[in-house]
Amino acid sequence: MGEVAAGLIGEIDLALKEFPELKFDMPDLKTINIVQRDLGKKQVAIKKIRDQYLRKLREEGFTEDEALDLLEEGDGSSRGR
């Protein structure tokens, strides 16, 4: 049995022992907010860079579809073409 599965089974065993009560450790809400805020900042930065990249490709004469295809080639996805 793998480490992840063992951890899950341990959590299930503990929940069954405590039944019908449900006990859990409350996470630090300040840490959660920081993580969410950091993710939001990253999303904004990614969108800005993506938009700049697409604008530059259009300036170089690429169509929007060609530019999107080039962008998606870089992340390994495909638009079905």
- pLDDT tens digits, one per residue of 26-66: 777 777 777 777 778 888 889 899 889 888 988 999 988 88
Residue 6 has pLDDT above 50, yes or no: yes
Distance CA 12, CA 70 (A): 46
CB 68 within 8 A of CB 79: yes
Distance CA 35, CA 81 (A): 37
Chain mean position to CA 38: 12
CB 48 within 8 A of CB 34: no
Distance CA 56, CA 64 (A): 11
